[in-house]
């Protein structure tokens, strides 16, 4: 029998099995689909190598994108200081934040199935999100597109 003495105080009631058992009723119906989906994701993560796998993949994806930005000679620039950059959300601007080129970039990106690249409405520019669900092939597609766009639009 589980005493509950080892449970964390921050544990949500819905996941506190001791509280559920003591109440002799379910405080709420657990989100079964979410629990199932998370279980599948954790099994998959374990199979591919766990946190070290995701860490290595995340680093490779962000290095590829930041290197493409850097190699553009200023056509693309990242407004975030190098020591503070994220491996997950990579913002960048085009040609000094040229709004016409940014719009053209976003419109042409959609034609090659690159979506949701618009930067935050208060900042503008472009933002590529490299969450775990984004495969390396997706980042490669983006960087290939960026190189082609650069070749077509540089002054």
Q: Whole-number mean pLDDT of the chain?
A: 91
Angle at alpha carbon of residue 68, lines to 64 and 70, rounded to 5°: 115
Spatial distance between the Cα atoms of 126 and 124, rounded to a whole number of angstroms = 7
Query: In the predicted model, is pLDDT for residue 108 greater than 80?
Result: yes
What does the pLDDT read at residue 153?
Answer: 97
Query: In the predicted model, is pLDDT for residue 1 greater than 60?
Result: no
């Amino acid at each position: 029998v589980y005493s509950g003495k080892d449970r964390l105080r921050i544990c949500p009631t819905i996941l506190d099995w001791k509280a559920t058992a003591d109440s002799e009723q379910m405080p709420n119906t657990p989100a079964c689909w979410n629990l199932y989906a998370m279980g599948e994701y954790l099994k998959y993560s374990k199979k591919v190598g766990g946190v070290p796998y995701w860490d290595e993949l995340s680093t490779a994806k962000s290095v590829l994108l930041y290197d493409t930005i850097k190699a553009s000679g200023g056509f693309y620039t990242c407004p975030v200081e190098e020591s503070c950059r994220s491996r997950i959300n990579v913002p960048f601007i085009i040609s000094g934040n040229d709004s016409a080129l940014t719009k053209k970039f976003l419109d042409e990106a959609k034609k090659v199935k690159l979506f949701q690249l618009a930067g935050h409405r208060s900042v503008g520019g472009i933002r590529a999100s490299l969450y775990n669900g984004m495969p390396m092939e997706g980042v490669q597609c983006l960087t290939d597109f960026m190189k082609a766009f650069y070749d077509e639009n540089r002054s």
